[in-house]
Amino acid sequence: MPPTPPILFMLAWWHGPSIFAEGKHFSHNQATLMQLRTQGADVQSDANNSSLALDAYQCDDTNRVQCVCSRAVRQCDRELYQDKHDGPWISCCEKRLFLDMLTWFHNRVEPHMNTDGFWYSLAFGTLLGSARDGDMMDWDEDMDIAVPQDKIPWLMQLLKDAAMEEHPPYDVTSDSYSGQSSVDNIGGVRVETVPVMRLHMSSVNDAHIDIWPAVGFASPFPSTMTETPVQVGIRTSPNYGAFPLQKCKLGNKEFPCFGQKEKFLENWYGDTWTQVDSYHAL
In angstroms, what CA-CA distances link 37 with 30, 31, 32, 106, 238?
Answer: 10, 10, 9, 29, 51
Taking the CA atoms of 100, 242, 261 and 2 in sequence, report the sign of the dihedral they define.
Answer: negative
pLDDT at res. 5: 45
Beta bridge mates, 122 = 145
DSSP state, 275?
Answer: S
Q: Strand locations in 47-124, DSSP E? A: 121-122
pLDDT at res. 267: 87
Query: What's at 1, amino acid-wise?
Result: M
Taking the CA atoms of 117, 253, 98 and 46 in sequence, report the sign of the dihedral they define.
Answer: positive
| pTM of the model as a whole | 0.79
Long-range contacts from 175-179, C-beta under 8 angstroms, 24+ separation: 177/2, 177/210, 177/233, 177/234, 178/234, 179/2, 179/4, 179/234
pLDDT at res. 264: 87
H or E, element range at 229: strand 229-232
pLDDT at res. 150: 94
Nearest to 117 by CA among 219, 241, 221, 15: 219
| Residues in the chain, overall count | 282
Contact at 8 Å (CB) between 236 and 179? no
pLDDT tens sequence for the chain (282 residues):
666 544 333 333 343 333 333 233 333 333 443 444 333 333 333 333 344 444 578 899 999 999 999 999 999 999 999 999 999 999 999 999 999 999 999 999 999 998 888 999 999 999 999 999 999 999 999 999 999 999 999 999 999 999 999 999 999 999 999 987 655 544 556 778 999 999 999 999 999 999 999 998 865 544 445 567 889 998 888 888 888 999 999 999 999 999 999 998 998 889 999 988 644 544
pLDDT at res. 227: 60
In angstroms, the CA 37 to CA 81 distance is: 27
In angstroms, what CA-CA distances link 188 with 178, 232, 238, 248?
Answer: 16, 21, 22, 37
The 10 Å Cβ neighbour count of residue 169 is 16
Contact at 8 Å (CB) between 42 and 168? yes
Pairing verdict, β 208-215 and 143-148: parallel
pLDDT at res. 219: 55
